Amino acid sequence: MAIMIMITLAVSLGGVRLYSLYLEYRLSDINAKIDAEVSKKVQLEIRLASLLSPERIYSNARARLGMEARRDFVKIALPWADGGQAPSQVERQALRAESGGRSRWGWTLNFAGEAHAKD
């Protein structure tokens, strides 16, 4: 009986050892896959950075889309842009009434202050 128990323990110990070797193989396989995915991620990040570079976007816009950079920019300075306060609703209505809605800055008054559905 003791010999039978010893043989059973030896066989089960051998089985546990084989199972641990199988798990070690699976672990090394998973680690290899992780390393491959990490290197693929690094390559994709490098490619993304090159695709998002301003030089590439500018050259693609010019070559494929025929876009050119504008050179005739116009700078519009609002009277209250230097830190002053934007006109209130009453002041905007007064300015519109004075100019008949056609002043040089009248159209900008729509962008100052709060927005309402009535406006």
- Distances from the Cα of 50 to the Cαs of 9, 30, 57, 64, 65, in angstroms? 61, 30, 10, 17, 19
Question: pLDDT at position 108, please?
Answer: 55
Residue 113 DSSP symbol: S
The residue among 22 and 75 whose pLDDT is bigger is 22
What are the tens digits of pLDDT across the range 26-58? 999 999 999 999 999 999 999 998 888 888 888
Cα–Cα distance, 107 to 111 (Å, whole number): 8
Tokens of 19: 């199972």
What are the tens digits of pLDDT across the range 61-110? 888 888 887 777 777 666 666 666 666 666 666 666 665 555 455 555 55
Question: pLDDT at position 60, please?
Answer: 84
Question: pLDDT at position 119, please?
Answer: 43
Does 24 have pLDDT greater than 60? Answer: yes
Q: What is the separation of C-alpha 106 from the centre of its chain, rounded to a whole number of angstroms?
A: 37
